[in-house]
Structure 1
Amino acid sequence: MANTSSGRQTGARDRDNEGRARNARPRDGLGRPLPYGADGVARQPEGVVRSPQETVAEAQELLNAGRPFHAHEVFEDAWKSGPAEERALWRGLAQLAVGLTHAARGNVTGGARLLRRGAGALEEWAASAPGRGRPYGMDLAGLTGWARQLAADVEQGGSAVDAGGRSPRLRG
């Protein structure tokens, strides 16, 4: 089957250059697929190994820009490539970002659930060893408070939130 110029295969699943299944449709700022050929936002490259400081800085820029789905991708890279003892930290942060994504898309139930799940994961990780409350300068207590408050606000309001306007500050 032939590849199109967008990297998409005709008559089969979309594949990336390494042959892995990957949706080639453009996406909007909240990660929702758009029709082929539409203008979308640049996608985050996957599988990038960054230092923890680079991860936090890049994710914060994306969150501030109202692109929590893309920040989730950055956290996911850290979760998959980082040391085993930090995987729960990065997974919890990814859950917060995807919770904000769902809340911004208007998925009240899913957004609130993921925000609370991420907050719980961060609390559990921080409690598992002394001195884990501010890894890489991040304020985990502040982030868990932000996540729980946003979850309550989303449930109470019942509508989509502004992702950029409600984005967290990773470093307190």
Structure 2
Amino acid sequence: MNETRRDRDAEGRARNARPRDGLGRPLPYGSPGVERQPEGVLRPPPETLREAQRLLAAGMPFHAHEVFEDAWKSGPEGERALWRGLAQLAVGLTHAARGNTAGGARLLRRGAAAITPYAEDRPHGLAVTHLTSWARELADRVEEGRTVDAAEEAPRLLG
């Protein structure tokens, strides 16, 4: 019988222990990888945005997505769509940088649509109008088959 073992975290939940690169792609066991973001971290919005911006600027949008996901899952109900939209932008950039043009463009557009209702209020100083324009323009370029460098394409979150 061929038994498949799953990696587990300290609480016994399934969690892939393979190292990952800066775009979140799994690497072979034992390879040096990029340290993963801890899950379930409760950060105030300014800290979430600072950490996500740092990761985006470093070319690690997959990791920024995880930071936004924590805010989406733990934030107030009225902001969950905002944080989910920001997570979609980050994972859209991830897919685009990995060469997944269809998925990248779709997620960039979905994230832009999700954050558009916040443009007037600009919660936490977010540059919503800039982000939606950036996402739609990048989605167009991705669909044209242009290569995407995650660090070079990192959006400015605040402003």
The normalised TM-score by structure 1 is 0.88
Higher alpha-carbon Rg: 1
- Give the match for residue 139 of structure 1: 127
1:31-78 CA-to-partner distances (Å, cap 9, x unmatched) read 000011111011000000000000000000000000000000000000
Amino acid at match of 2:156: R
Shift, 1:11, TM fit: 4.8
1:82-115 CA-to-partner distances (Å, cap 9, x unmatched) read 1111100000000000000000000011000000
Matches within 5 A, 1:23-172: 23-124=16-117, 126=118, 131-132=120-121, 134-156=122-144, 158-172=145-159
Amino acid at match of 1:42: E
Asked if structure 2 preserves the Cα contact closer than 8 Å seen for 1:46 and 1:77, the reply is yes
- Give the match for residue 13 of structure 2: 20
Shift, 1:160, TM fit: 3.2
The normalised TM-score by structure 2 is 0.95
In 2 relative to 1, CA 143–38 (structure 1 residues): closer, same or farther, beyond 3 Å? same
Tell me the number of residue pairs that the alignment of Structure 1 and Structure 2 aligns.
Answer: 157
The runs of 5 or more residues in structure 1 that have no matched partner are 1-9
The runs of 5 or more residues in structure 2 that have no matched partner are none
Asked if structure 2 preserves the Cα contact closer than 8 Å seen for 1:107 and 1:160, the reply is no
Moved over 4 A (4+): none
1:128-172 CA-to-partner distances (Å, cap 9, x unmatched) read xxx52x11111111100000000001111x143000000100012
Asked if structure 2 preserves the Cα contact closer than 8 Å seen for 1:105 and 1:160, the reply is no
- Give the match for residue 4 of structure 1: none
